[in-house]
Chains A and B, each alone.
Chain A
C-alpha cells in the first residue's frame, strides 16, 4: 500500500489481515491505519523512534527502548503484525513468542541469564542494586529447577509462562 495516498483499499486490508493471521478484524485494521498515519507525521511510510517517543505514555514505559528495536523501520503491514500479539484473538503461543522475542535481543533463538538480567534491569532501574538483581534472578531460577548458565529456548518459555492465564491485550478503538 502506498504512503502517497492515505486511503486503504479493500485489497490492502485483506492482505494485511492475512499477514497477521486474521487476528484483527477489517475494521480494526482500518483504525490501526488511521493511527499509523497519525503517528507517521512525515509520511515516510514507517514510524521513526522519535515519533514513537513523542507519545509520553510510550516514552515513560521501562521497556520502550527495547520495543523500539523491534519497531524500527516497520511498514504498516509489519506494524499490524507486531501488534497482533496483543489482539484478544491471538493464541497464547503467539503471545509467548512475542515475549521471547523481547528477551532475545541477538535473535539467536536462545535467552541467557544475562538477557533476563537486562530486562530485569530495564524494569527495576536504579532501585535494586546489580548484585541484588543477580541474586534474585539466580534464586528464582534455582527454585524452578534451572541453572544459572542454562540457555532458554521458546519451549522453555512456553512451559514457564504457559500454565496460568497470561493476559496481554489491547483494545483497538473502532469508531
Chain B
C-alpha cells in the first residue's frame, strides 16, 4: 500500500466488513438508481454523480461533523443580560474556580501520597480481599473528589454494575472525564492510551492500582498484544470489571463512530453504558486536536457545572450466528438510541490515518458491475 503525505494508509487490521456506507450518506449523494438499457457514450462520459459525491464531501462530510464542537449561541447581547453575564464570569472565575482548584490539588496530592504509600500493600498483604476492597473504595472516593472539583452533577440510571467475572463494560467516549464519572461509582479497570505530561504521571501512579491495560495507537502489532491482555484480564476472577471505550477516540457527544470489534470477541457478556452531557452547562467534548487536557479541564472548572446522565443498560451476549462486528453494531445502536446520538459509519481512527483502499474499490466494483451488466443486456 502506498503512503501519501504524513498520514499512513490504515492497515488491513482496521478494515472490517462494514455496514453499507450508502445507507448513511444523505440520499441525494448516492449513485443513483441502477441505470438500465443500452450502454451509450453519454453514460460513460457522465461522471456527474461521482463528482457530486466528492463535492458534497468537500462541502460537508459526516466524519468531520463528529468532531466539531459547536460554539454556544451568545445570549448576553443586551443591556440587562450583559452585566448579569459579567457577574457570572466573576463568580465562575474568582469564586468557583479557586475553590475547585484547591479541591483538585488536594485530590491529586492524596492520590500521589496514597499510591506511593506502599505499606498499605504490605500491611494487608495476607488479607487480599480486604486490601482490594479498601483500594477500590479509595479510588472511588478520589474520583468523587475529582468530579467535585468541576462540580459534576451526574444522574445514574439503571442497576449499578456488579463485580462478576466474564463481563466487560463499554461506553461512548466524549472526554477523559467519562472514565472518572464512571469510576466514582464503580472501580473499573480500564484500557487507555498513555498520555504525556502530568496526566501520564497520574495514569501510571493511580491507575496501576485498579488494573490498567495500555495501548499504543501508532503501533501496528499492538492490537494483538492488547487483545491478549484483555482476554487475560477478563478471565481473572479477582480483577476489577473492565471498562472499554470501543470508539477508540473522543467524539463530540452528538454522534457515535464505529465500535472496534476487539471488546466484542472476548466471549463474555457486554454491558453497555450510555453517557450524555447536557450542553447547556458546558460542552464536555475534549477536542484533543485543538486543546490539551489541561485546557479542557480549565474550561470545565470555570463553568457552572458539568451535568450528565449515565445509563447502565441491559447486558448483552453475542447471539448465535452473530459476528463480532454485528454484535458491536448492535450494542452501538443500543447506546446511541439511549443517549440520543446519531450513528456514523466511520472508524474513529480515521482521525489519524487514511481510509482503507477497500472502500474506494467497493465503489469501483459497483460501477464496473453496472457497466458490464448493461453490456450483457445488449447481447
User: Which residues does A use to contact B, with CB under 8 Å?
Assistant: 32, 35, 38-39, 48-50, 52-64, 67, 83, 86, 95, 98-99, 102-103, 116, 119-120, 123-128, 132, 136-137, 140-141, 143-144, 146, 157, 160-161, 163, 166-173
Which B residues between 24 and 64 are near A, CB-CB below 8 angstroms?
A: 25, 28-29, 32, 39-64
Number of B residues contacting the other chain (C-beta, 8 Å)?
A: 52
A52 with B58, Cβ < 8 A, contacts A61-B360, A128-B372, A168-B52 known: yes
Interface residue B12 (Cβ < 8 Å from any Cβ of A)? no
Chain A to chain B contacts (Cβ below 8 Å), 27 pairs: A32-B59, A38-B64, A39-B58, A49-B5, A55-B57, A56-B354, A60-B355, A61-B54, A64-B360, A98-B51, A102-B47, A125-B360, A125-B361, A125-B368, A127-B365, A136-B371, A137-B44, A140-B40, A160-B41, A163-B42, A166-B48, A167-B52, A169-B28, A170-B59, A171-B28, A171-B56, A172-B60
* Cα-based distance from A43 to B14 in the complex (angstroms): 31
Select which of A126, A136, A140 is within 8 A of B361 by beta carbon: A126
A-B pairs, top 6 by smallest CB distance, nearest first, are A125-B364, A127-B368, A57-B57, A168-B48, A50-B5, A124-B368
The answer to whether A50 touches B7 (Cβ under 8 A) is yes
The answer to whether A161 touches B42 (Cβ under 8 A) is yes
Q: Which residues of B contact A95 (CB under 8 A)?
A: 48
* Shortest distance between the CB of A164 and any CB in chain B (Å): 8
A-B contact count (CB 8 A): 167
User: Which residues does B use to contact A, with CB under 8 Å?
Assistant: 4-7, 21, 25, 28-29, 32, 39-64, 68, 346, 350, 354-355, 359-361, 363-365, 367-369, 371-372, 375
Kindly report which residue of chain B lies nearest to residue A100, judged by CB atoms: B45
The answer to whether A56 touches B63 (Cβ under 8 A) is yes
* Cα-based distance from A112 to B63 in the complex (angstroms): 37
